[in-house]
Amino acid sequence: MDMRKLVGRNFARLRREKGLTQEDVEARSGFSQQYLSGLERGTRNPSIVTLYEIAQALGVSHVELVTPDNGTGDRTVPS
């Protein structure tokens, strides 16, 4: 599992669900739009502190950024 791609997919999904643009998250988090774009593409390797701060900007738990999915953006619910 490529965690960078997983975090990127989750970030993009959560951002869209909240109706936010990358620029909106930039204003809330202080991370540049370029950084956030790289995060969504899975080319960034964020620290746990970065994940926490981005989750706070989205209004979600940091756990939601690392919850596994099935590769299509749909989260897999553990049994």
Torsion angle of C-alpha atoms 36, 39, 41, 44, degrees rounded to 10: 130
| pLDDT at 64 (0 to 100) | 97
- Whether 73 is covered by a domain: the verdict is no
Q: What is the mean pLDDT of each run of 10 residues along the chain (79 residues)?
A: 94 97 97 97 96 97 91 51
| pLDDT at 78 (0 to 100) | 47
- Whether 74 is covered by a domain: the verdict is no
Total number of domains in the chain = 1
| pLDDT at 71 (0 to 100) | 56
Residue 9, domain CATH: 1.10.260.40
- Whether 52 is covered by a domain: the verdict is yes
- Whether 20 is covered by a domain: the verdict is yes
Query: Mapping DSSP to helix (H, G, I), strand (E, B) and coil, where does residue 69 land?
Result: strand
| pLDDT at 28 (0 to 100) | 97
Give CA–CA dist 10/64, Å, rounded: 7
- Whether 70 is covered by a domain: the verdict is no
Give CA–CA dist 14/9, Å, rounded: 9
- Whether 48 is covered by a domain: the verdict is yes
Dihedral over Cα of 11, 42, 48, 66: its sign: positive
Considering the entire predicted model, what is its pTM? 0.85
